[in-house]
Chains A and B, each alone.
Chain A
């Protein structure tokens, strides 16, 4: 679906070229949940921006074969002057969908995401978890082929994070969307992903792509949790090794 071929990205800086990504090749398969994990500042967000065509590759290429993408930003980036409903429809609005139609679709999804009581609220009235759900709804509403998520759960407390991770899994299955999640949390990617791309420190190629063959739901019982921790340790070794 999305094919990244020998991708390199560098920025000009005062001290010369800063190589952020180097020779990254990756394939995103139809309908899969792919995660890319790496330490902070390793170029994960840059990779997502290239996938979303917000940033041109310096070398190599991205073959998107007509696939559409939508991005869930790390911060909720909700416009404070818009209500929850108006924030959720922003993507559809950019795509030129008529307001009535956009609101009708948004209300269906917001209800499914337990936000029905908050559609008329302003972002400052919401908890961080709710804000992030609106962020997710806004991207899902444009019905992208690939949903790109940039560490969307990193600022949440443990309970809210798990809740949103489960919500995401449910949405992924229900909407049969392809997901690319970028994260610095090994536990998170082991809990969520079918495949994990492991990145090291800058300038970074992909160190390994690991299939995670754990049954879902993961961490349902102690044995499953132990199996998940084994995957975490394996990923960690590959990241630093």
Chain B
């Protein structure tokens, strides 16, 4: 942990030093202090607020939509062999396709605006959730279902007591990957076809050679995505608190 903090500090200090010593071209590359100054300016004047809100909205809606679709589709293909055989070719094909090439088509269908961006981001974020939910359903122990049936459990109770706790760690690990995909989707959609959002502003800043402002956006996106991913990671560990580590000796028996 402290080693990681140290490494990050060393990187930032080294970067700043290299900049001050004139080793880096100031037109092509920003520096930590310049990013901080520019960031403060952009945030305090509220110049970026509307764009931040827009991108975050797209991101949040997409993440929720991806969890819902991912769990539904993942459960369906894990539960029913019929659903698997019918849907799997489409899922595999869609998954191997770089989703970004669909953006012109999505804009054609939905027009330029938030729904097109949400569509792309959701599409990108769903697949990891689908695949990991499917894996979770597949690894569910058949004996638990038999056990629940032997006690006459209802379907609903079986879902709540066996399926949901069994697949939750898998869904979360899919979500952790999905979150960064959702951010990529939200930004790329803005690169392509948008008049709002952090991604749109990044393109604009770059075309005006505002390297510092570009770096501010990049830093904010990175920090935010990292925070979300860490939150999910923390949730994963909480849910999995019972699971013993394979590499640590068991306590007690």
Residues of A in contact with B (beta carbons under 8 Å apart): 52, 54, 69-71, 73, 75, 77, 79-81, 90-91, 93-95, 121-122, 124-127, 130, 142
Contacts and interface: CB of A to CB of B under 8 A. Distances in A.
Given A73-B147, A81-B242, A94-B161, 16 more contacts: A52-B150, A54-B150, A70-B150, A71-B147, A73-B143, A73-B146, A77-B147, A79-B162, A79-B165, A80-B243, A93-B157, A94-B151, A94-B153, A121-B252, A122-B242, A125-B252
A184 B243 CA distance: 33
A217 B121 CA distance: 70
Interface in B142-163: 143-144, 146-154, 157, 161-162
B97 interface: no
A71 B162 CA distance: 18
Contacts of B250: 124-125
A206 to B, nearest CB: 23
Instruction: Please classify the interface of chain A as helix (H, G, I), strand (E, B), loop, or mixed, using the class held by over half of its residues.
Output: loop
A77 B143 contact: yes
A81 B143 CA distance: 15
Interface string B238-251: 01001110000011
A11 to B, nearest CB: 16
A121 B253 CA distance: 11
A158 B153 CA distance: 35
B172 to A, nearest CB: 13
Contact of A124 (B141, B146, B161, B244): B244
Q: How many interface residues does chain B have, given as a range?
A: 20 to 34
Contacts of A93: 157, 161
B143 to A, nearest CB: 5
Nearest to B158: A94
Interface string B33-56: 000000000000000000000000
A95 B152 contact: yes
14 contacts: A54-B146, A69-B150, A73-B146, A75-B143, A79-B144, A80-B242, A80-B243, A81-B239, A90-B161, A91-B151, A94-B161, A95-B151, A122-B242, A127-B253
B157 A94 contact: yes
A130 to B, nearest CB: 8
A125 B151 contact: no
Contacts of A91: 151
Given A54-B146, A124-B244, A77 B151 contact: no
A68 to B, nearest CB: 9
Contact of B253 (A69, A77, A95, A125): A125
A71 B150 contact: yes
B150 to A, nearest CB: 4
